[in-house]
Amino acid sequence: MSIIAALALATIPPPPCNTELVVLGAGQDAGAPQLGNLSDPAWTDRDKRLLATSLLLIDWGQRKRFMFEATPDIVEQLQASYEVKPLLRDDGSLDLDGIFLTHAHIGHYAGLLHLGFESANTKDVPVYAMPRMASFLASNAPWSQLIDLNNISMTTLQPEAATNIQDTFAVLPRVVPHRDEFSETVGYSVVTPGKRFFFLPDIDSFDEWEAAGGPSLSALVEGHDLLFLDSTFFDDDELDRDMSAIPHPRTKGTMEALASLPADQRAKVHFIHYNHSNPIRFPDSAESQMVEENGFNVARRGDRHCLDL
């Protein structure tokens, strides 16, 4: 260990809890500001930028770091994760113990390229994905090169089957309806020693999932301690066109569907993956206030959740 690493180790404050979850990004795939969207206030105010949705899971006891999604913003997001849990290893690795992928849309996996030969050139970073997703990566360049050069090491997960991850927690992928051109799409039910959380950044419709045999939205909430749910659009008035055929739950619709739940259940829900057009991206908007008044939460980059009992 170098002197610098030893000093870093000595100055780390005691962990606030053993297992922690940190929001590294809460925007839709392309974040904000987007290409050509000249009126976005984030061009002039960097605090208003949206990074694509990603979560960081830290096991402080075992000194492990896991990411959910490899977004196009992974460079900034991994760096942000070092501000929460400093880099402890002195072996040139990223100190990254695993990446979980939900599906093959750009905001969720395109950042894997930064692990490749022209960038970090990592060695065997564990990447967990479902069978179609894993096969898509293995059989299509440039992703296949990450596997051929052992930059990443793939583990294939199975639907509705709990997999123990390095003796730190368990994940149970749940297949949901979504635009599945290249891969299936999953949400992850994650069971840590203290709490259970659910991460579902993309789904066409909760009703459609239930009709296909999935759980009801309220059962989903009742079955977890903390949920991060797709909230791409706020309502049907948001885009300047007919939105009736555009999938994704609306923030407003999800609040209405869960309105009868008691306050302690509603408080578990954190809206995430919001589009640049969704006004909940601005903490001072009337819509953000409405979310709060209804007892729900908007996930914000930098949010930290202790997952201990």
With H, G, I as helix, E, B as strand and everything else as coil, classify residue 293. Answer: helix
- Distance in Å, CB of 36 to Zn ion, minimum: 19
User: For Zn ion, which is the closer residue by CB, 29 or 97?
Assistant: 29
User: For Zn ion, which is the closer residue by CB, 169 or 233?
Assistant: 233
> Can you read off the two tokens belonging to residue 296?
């729900």
Rounded-to-integer distance, Cα 68 and Cα 244, Å: 30
Region near Zn ion per CB under 5 A, out of 118-126, 198-206, 240-248, 285-293: 198-206
With H, G, I as helix, E, B as strand and everything else as coil, classify residue 165. Answer: strand
Rounded-to-integer distance, Cα 89 and Cα 19, Å: 19
Beta-strand relationship, 269-272 and 226-230 = parallel
Kindly report whether the peptide bond that precedes residue 193 is cis, defined as omega within 30 degrees of 0: no
Output DSSP code: residue 43. G
- Distance in Å, CB of 272 to Zn ion, minimum: 10
User: For Zn ion, which is the closer residue by CB, 65 or 105?
Assistant: 105
Using the structure block, give the residue that is written with the tokens 């930290």: 304
Rounded-to-integer distance, Cα 250 and Cα 264, Å: 21
| CB proximity list for 222: less than 8 A, separation 6 or greater | 261, 265
- Distance in Å, CB of 300 to Zn ion, minimum: 18
Total residue count of the chain as it appears in this document: 309
- Distance in Å, CB of 106 to Zn ion, minimum: 8
Choice from 20, 25, 26, 29 touching Zn ion (CB under 5 A): 29
- Distance in Å, CB of 179 to Zn ion, minimum: 6
Told to check if 69 binds Zn ion by CB under 5 A, we report no
Choice from 65, 105, 224, 248 touching Zn ion (CB under 5 A): 105
User: For Zn ion, which is the closer residue by CB, 72 or 107?
Assistant: 107
User: For Zn ion, which is the closer residue by CB, 239 or 259?
Assistant: 239
Kindly write out the interface string for residues 136-175 of this chain, putting x where it contacts Zn ion by CB under 5 A and - elsewhere: ----------------------------------------
Region near Zn ion per CB under 5 A, out of 101-109, 211-219, 239-247, 264-272: 101-109
- Distance in Å, CB of 79 to Zn ion, minimum: 22
Told to check if 248 binds Zn ion by CB under 5 A, we report no
Q: How many residues contact Zn ion, by CB under 5 A? A: 4
Q: Are 162 and 180 in contact (CB under 8 A)?
A: no
Rounded-to-integer distance, Cα 29 and Cα 106, Å: 6
* Strand segments (E) across 146-298: 152-156, 163-165, 169-175, 186-191, 196-200, 226-230, 269-272, 297-298
User: For Zn ion, which is the closer residue by CB, 73 or 202?
Assistant: 202
- Distance in Å, CB of 107 to Zn ion, minimum: 5
> Which residues of this protein are in contact with Zn ion, per CB under 5 A?
29, 105, 107, 202
